[in-house]
Structures are given as C-alpha cells and as structure tokens.
Structure 1
C-alpha cells in the first residue's frame, strides 16, 4: 500500500513540478508551443533549466509599447510576460528569441541569488545591467541566426540592442 501511494505521489508531483504553464489560448498558445519547441531543439540546456519551468502569458506594457516583454521571479514562480505585439506580429523564431531572452535574465538572477545576496536585475549597478543586457542580447542574437530568422527581424533586434552598446 505504501509503495502505491509513494508511486502515485511521485507521478503526480513529478509531472507537475516539471510542467510548463502557458496562460494563452488559440493561435497564441500554438505559437508559444512552437517557439518553445524551437528552443528545446536549438538550446536544450536553456529549455530544460528555465523555459520548461516558466509560466508564459501575454503582457501589455503600461507605456502602451506592444513589443515590450519582461520576466518576474515571484514566490518560486518564473514568469515570462510577452508583449502582445510580439505574439501577434512577429515570427515564431522571433517569439522563441523573446522567450529565450527573458529566460536568460531569470537564469542569471537565480545564479546571483545562489552565489550571495539575492540581487534582482534592478538592484545591479548601471554598468552591471548594461553588461548583462549585452550578454543576453548577444546570446539571443546567436539563437535567432541559428533559427534562420528573417533579416528584417534580426536588424530590428540589433536596433533594440544598440541602446546597450
């Protein structure tokens, strides 16, 4: 009897501990799943260490910028908030880049919290934030190139990244 209960708990808790949550419906859900699969294929380490553990949902930035995406680490929940414009007006490859970008930020935050006092991105010095953004933009650009993302989307991404160089 104890073995059956243990097996049941292992199956239920094991699958829920590693399940990704996508809080979207319809076409957006399909696009997010495809983007996550691209990350799984092209960077399985980032996929396994962060993407699969994240809660993904659409996001409307308070400034009205439809392409702004962000992340939050809150109560052991990892949130990737994707700008509505990115969901509806960018390719699956570009969407994968956004998920990857935000995942890298969360991984770096987790690394900082494990190596000392918990330090969120906003707690970093201006120079440290700049260096992290450059690192994340460069790694994301590498993924976009591996995915054969369109030239115009890579150029747009480079334009956004240029603010940090």
Structure 2
C-alpha cells in the first residue's frame, strides 16, 4: 500500500508541476517610489510585487497591492492609502507591456518596454528604459520611470501642493525564475 501511494504522489508531482519553458515569474519584485519636497521627502518600498515574463511573446505583466508599500512614518502610509491613492477603491496598480527588440540569447541588454500603466483606476501608455540581465535560467529586469501625479487623477489639496512633488520617481527590480504550472 505504501509503494502504491508513493508512486501515485510521484506521478501527480511529475504531471502536476509542468515547467513552462518560455514563462518566468517574479513573486517578490521590488518597486520603490520617491517624491522630493521642500518639507520632507517621501519614499516607500513594496517588496510584494508579482510579475510574469514571457520571453517568446516578449511580454511582461506586473501587479501590486498599493497597501503593501512600506513608509518610514505611519502617517505617510495613512495619507497615501486614504487620501491620495484611495486604496479601498483602487487596491492595485498594474502594468502590461511588450519588450521592443528583445533578444533572448543576449546576457545583458538595455531595451524599451512599451505598455499600459494603470494607477488609481487611470491607464496611460508609457515607455520604460529597462536593463535586462540573463543569468543561467533566470532574468533580472530593472529600471525607473517618472510619472506625473496629475496623469493618474490623484488629487492633492491646494494647502499641501507644495509638500507633494508633481513628478514621482519609480524604480523597479524583478528577479524572474522559471514558472512552474
């Protein structure tokens, strides 16, 4: 009976965990944003960003929960989620794009990713300069993009407008492993 059970588990494992050769996943990608102000700089980091990379289709998808950003001060976290991003209404941000002229053989390349960035329920077409490093059977993508607060309909009260930058700098880094279905 024990041997039958072991064989059953082995067959289930082999057939159930099929590796998709062209797809890679980053389960703990990092996104950091920075806003310079005359009063106090605002910086937050999110280490719970999910991303899928398909090297054959040259496509990337990113999804993150807005409440997963960590701030230095609790009050910044509260204002970000309640007043600006409205995380109860818009709980996540996404990006879907295509890597232009991607070469899956090259070990180090800088490419443009064109796609749609959705924040606060607003979608905008963007182009992001990205460094792509291939190491063994993994990929590391990193880069940055500047976004305008007004492009995503984020309301800043006039009294606080001097305390919040109009342009937010966003940096990202994803370490992809082969995706197992």
Structure-2-length-normalised TM-score: 0.28
Higher relative contact order (CA 8 A, sep 6+): 2
Q: Mark the structure with the bigger radius of gyration.
A: 2
Q: Which of the two has greater helix per residue?
A: 1
**TM-score for both structures, normalised by structure 1:** 0.30
